[in-house]
Amino acid sequence: MVQYNFKKMTVVPNGKDFIDIILSRTQRQTPTVVHKGYAISRLRQFYMRKVKYTQQNFHEKLSTIIDEFPRLDDIHPFYGDLLHVLYNKDHFKLALGQINSARTLIGKISKDYVAALGRMCTVIKRIGPSLAYLEQIRQHMARLPSIDPNTRTVLICGYPNVGKTSFINKITRADVDVQPYAFTTKSLFVGHTDYKYLRYQVIDTPGILDRPFEDRNIIEMCSITALAHLRAAVLFFLDISGSCGYNIAQQASLFHSIKSLFMNKPLIIVCNKTDLQPLEGISEEDKKLVAEMKNEAMKTVIGQGGEATNDEGQGKAPCIPQAVLEAKSNQAAEKEKRSTERDLENENGGAGVYSSSLKKHYILANDEWKEDVMPEILHGYNVCDFVDPDIFHRLKELEREEGLRHEEQGDDDFETDALKLTPEEQRMLSEIRKKRSKFIQQHRIKKSTAESRPIVPRKFDKDREFTTKRMGRQLTKLGIDPTMAINRARSRSVSRGRKRERSVDGGDTDGGDAMDMDVDVPNKKQRMLSRSRSRSRSRSRSRPPIEVVPGEGYKDSSQKAKAIKKAKKSNMMRNKNARRGEADRVIPTLKPKHLFSGKRSIGKTQRR
């Protein structure tokens, strides 16, 4: 995962373009017309708005520049030293410091808003060189490769023109320019390669010359920075043919001068261009120098001060535990013995002839039972329902146990309030329960046929089944006096049918014709007559809503009417009819005449 991507940094405009961008945005986003009739407070507000808006735009733009440029103390040391090598970190910090000072100064100017816009532009003109310098740095940083300092990395280094770039072009998809002269590669190049399902980052560095540290140029310092800060496996390329312009002694001297950068890193000496000069054909002195470099490479891997050499490492036999060897042999034997379904298919006639059995993995007491055919129906019964061989015996036991419980608890159904009922009362109770279950069934049938609506007996009792007369007959049939039940039903219907009425003089008229409102009157004319009598009775007049009652807190009826009107307005009803309301966006005229009437002829322009 690449952590540093400098290609997304915002472009830094120069001083003149910076001022044009901010002032044009201020001109577009703020009012531009001032009339001579405006009050002084309005004029002040006009200019204060322009000043504040300009200051905010300057602050945002400068803050973006400061935040997007990396802080050298916070980023990885590799990038910190690389930026110092390329641009000199003191100049870099100085330019950013000037931008930060300009941002603070513009904020102070906006507070003293007299002639503020001119002073802000002057500040931006003063930091013009810093803006131009930061833009050059941004463009150069955008061209830097995206290097992840924390991933697996292979670093290639050596003298110029020893074959480093050709190597990275071979093992990665990078396409770096290759030329037969020194310092073709002037910066770091990155490629990626896969080895044993792992992704490696390969970095090609510019060539390094064997000379003092102070005399090295910027191109060489890029390689030194990468070697110093990146945790990577280092490939030191050695041109044994000398075609690069430097002999083996010079390359060995470079290796020993920078070997402190290789400590605690895997190091490999790569002898390149053996097609031009085989390794066996070089002189004894050169062979000795190459051997010394190999020994140093072994020391860097083992650690500083280690005495192991390349020959000792080659002569040491590998040590593998015996348990690991036995486990590997057992796995190999099992792999040879086990045959797959594809092997069985090929042995038994191929596809379409061989059919794999799904029962061979069943866990049974006897393997011969796996291929037995299990019937689904046996003696007219489903086999799956009678897996237990003692099912019939257990079923009989359950039925016998249930019968015994019914015999023991048979009389408990007729016990109420811890008192035992007589046989006659038990018979009546059973009749009542049967009747009740019948009513429940009828109610459920009616409910299902009434479009799933709850049933009110008076509304849906069209057959006049539920009347007091019928109730009286049923109670008489059961041997119960129905008088009290009928009177109770009538009193409830009277109280529900008509409220108590008051006469003109304030007396209650609750007697007399109250019994005429009997719900059991079968004749419709008689019921209408009783209703007309009740309506003809004098009733007290209702109080108008705007009449003031003592204690309500209103001065007069007009004040109460206004209060009621406001209360109704505050309680807005839902717009259930989807009508147009006050919150709708309405275009009163779809085609205004002055826009759709064509060209005007010579005449009045009063519509304009």
Annotate 399-432 with three-state secondary structure. HHHHHHHHHHCHHHHHEECCEECCHHHHHHHHHH
Comparing 504 with 224, which gets the higher pLDDT?
A: 224
Burial of residue 402, with CB atoms counted within 10 A of its CB: 0-12 exposed, 13-18 middle, 19 or more buried: exposed
CA angle in degrees (0–180, nearest 5) for 45-51-54: 140
Q: Which residues pair with 378 in a beta bridge?
A: 381
Residue with tokens 């039903």: 489
The per-residue pLDDT for 244 is 81
Give the strand pairing for 198-204 and 189-195: antiparallel
The per-residue pLDDT for 561 is 92
Q: Which residues pair with 233 in a beta bridge?
A: 154
The per-residue pLDDT for 538 is 47
d(CA 415, CA 412) in angstroms, rounded, equals: 5
Please determine, for residue 519, whether its predicted confidence score (pLDDT) is greater than 50.
no
Cα of first residue to Cα of last residue in the chain, in angstroms, is 65
Lowest mean pLDDT among 200-209, 303-312, 469-478: 303-312
- Average pLDDT of span 347-365: 82
The per-residue pLDDT for 309 is 35
The per-residue pLDDT for 486 is 85
Comparing 169 with 315, which gets the higher pLDDT?
A: 169
Selection from 24, 325, 52, 12 nearest residue 140 by Cα: 12
Residue with tokens 């405009």: 13
Comparing 99 with 141, which gets the higher pLDDT?
A: 99
Q: Which residues pair with 564 in a beta bridge?
A: none
Q: What is the set of domains in the chain, with CATH numbers?
A: 6-142 (1.20.120.1190), 153-310 (3.40.50.300), 455-536 (no CATH)
The per-residue pLDDT for 411 is 52
The H or E element that residue 377 is part of is: strand 377-378
> Taking a C-beta distance cutoff of 8 angstroms, is the pair 184, 177 a contact?
yes
Give the strand pairing for 377-378 and 381-382: antiparallel
Take residue 390 and report the two structure tokens written for it: 């003692």
- Average pLDDT of span 419-427: 81
- Average pLDDT of span 306-335: 59
For every residue of 307-345, DSSP letters joined together read ---HHHHHHSPP---HHHHHHHHHHHHHHHH---HHHHH
| Three-class DSSP category at 26 | helix
Selection from 216, 294, 204, 289 nearest residue 250 by Cα: 289
Q: What is the dihedral of CA 223, 229, 231, 235, to 10 degrees?
A: 20
The per-residue pLDDT for 452 is 53
Q: What are phi and psi of 188, to 5 degrees?
A: -80, 140
What tens digit of pLDDT does each residue of 473-505 get?
888 887 888 888 888 877 766 665 555 544 444
Take residue 223 and report the two structure tokens written for it: 């390689």
Please determine, for residue 2, whether its predicted confidence score (pLDDT) is greater than 60.
no
Comparing 374 with 167, which gets the higher pLDDT?
A: 167
Please determine, for residue 600, whether its predicted confidence score (pLDDT) is greater than 80.
no
Q: What are phi and psi of 268, to 5 degrees?
A: -130, 130
> Taking a C-beta distance cutoff of 8 angstroms, is the pair 254, 209 a contact?
yes
Comparing 451 with 194, which gets the higher pLDDT?
A: 194
The per-residue pLDDT for 515 is 41
Residue 354 gets which letter from DSSP? B
d(CA 303, CA 264) in angstroms, rounded, equals: 6
> Taking a C-beta distance cutoff of 8 angstroms, is the pair 87, 137 a contact?
yes
